[in-house]
Amino acid sequence: MKAHKQPWIAPGVLPLLAPFFILFALFWLVPLIGGLRISMQSNTLLGEPEFVGLTHFKKVLGDRLFYLSLKNTALYTLGNLLLILPFATLLAVLLRRTWSRLRPLLSYALLLPALTPPIVLGVLFLLVFHGREGLLNQLFVTPFGLKPINWIKDPSWILPALVLQSTWRWTGFMAFFIGCGLEGLPRTTQEAASLDGAGPVRSFFAITLPQLRPVLIFCAAYLFVDAFAMFSGAYLLLGGSGGTANAGLLVVTYVYQTAFFPHNEFGTAAAMSLMTVPVLLLVCWGLFAFRPKAASRKAVLK
């Protein structure tokens, strides 16, 4: 095998790699291992901790709210992906057919929400989602003769509200990425298809979409991680709580609640965050496993 002839590390590259690995070890690996230790100690951040074994893990496994927060996060993440990706793809295709002089301005306007601090989004969205006077209700709900929706207080609408907020935030940005991907596609296959008599819709689904796969997988991975780590938007919209009946309780929020306010159970919270790690690994592995070999390397490397 060729691999045996390769050195463990290429000559002269150590100074280039070292900064990353020192930081990786210090601020990723050590905290992970430290987290394992904390999760087996009694609930104190400072002072003398006691070894308690797997007590915290057992407690988390029996915690109904932990499962609820996992479920909410999964729904939230899924909602994000299912709403943002198709909408962003459509927007990217449309953008390419707009009047060319307005195009840069339009795509900039569309991705402005992504440049906005989530806290500001939260402030804006309190207004959009506000009970009776909210924008969404006044423009899209009451005019159709429906009862105004209390987006933030009604448990069945909290998650949709969070998903809408995130959709508004990321769609333009993802459309920008997908648009860049579209520009890089070879024209020849497209032309061949239209010569063969394929309509624009057919050639989009048969040719463009498969070619966009790497970009789309990158976008999906980005959205997935962002959704899973979601904290800021929900924090402001729901005041750090899980909302009514904890319908908007997300994993990161719950970990934060458990560790600091109102529970102060640091060890339990550490166990909780460690238990999300296998979940994340599994899902990402699933995301990357479902595709052919050739596309896979490209997508990993963006």
Neighbour tally for 73: CB within 10 Å = 23
List, in sequence order, the alpha helices (H) in the chain: 14-24, 30-38, 55-61, 64-96, 103-115, 118-129, 135-136, 155-183, 187-195, 200-203, 209-228, 232-237, 251-259, 266-289, 293-300
Q: What is the CA radius of gyration of the chain?
A: 23
Question: With CB under 8 A as the contact rule, which of the stretches 32-40, 58-66, 75-83, 146-154 interacts with other proteins?
Answer: 32-40
Maximal CA-CA distance, the chain: 76
| Smallest separation (angstroms) from other proteins to the CB of 251 | 8
Q: Number of residues interacting with other proteins: please give it, by CB under 8 A.
A: 100
Residue 242 interacts with other proteins (CB under 8 A)? Answer: no
Among 78, 82, 109, 206, binds other proteins (CB under 8 A): 109
Length of the chain: 302
Q: Which residues in 47-86 contact other proteins (CB under 8 A)?
A: none
DSSP three-state, residue 51: strand
| Smallest separation (angstroms) from other proteins to the CB of 192 | 19
Among 54, 78, 120, 146, binds other proteins (CB under 8 A): 120
Question: With CB under 8 A as the contact rule, which of the stretches 75-83, 151-159, 191-199, 215-223 interacts with other proteins?
Answer: 215-223
Residue 113 interacts with other proteins (CB under 8 A)? Answer: yes
| Smallest separation (angstroms) from other proteins to the CB of 226 | 9
Q: Give the tokens for residue 108.
A: 């900039």
**What is the pattern of x (binds other proteins, CB under 8 A) and - over residues 269-298?**
xx--x--xx--xx--x--------------
| Smallest separation (angstroms) from other proteins to the CB of 15 | 5
* DSSP calls for 91-107: HHHHHHTS-TTTHHHHH
Residue 194 interacts with other proteins (CB under 8 A)? Answer: no
Nearest to 163 by CA among 73, 243, 94: 73
Residue 108 interacts with other proteins (CB under 8 A)? Answer: yes
Contact 172, 91 (CB under 8 A): yes
Residue 133 interacts with other proteins (CB under 8 A)? Answer: yes
Q: Which is nearer to other proteins, 79 or 118 (CB)?
A: 118
Residue 114 interacts with other proteins (CB under 8 A)? Answer: yes
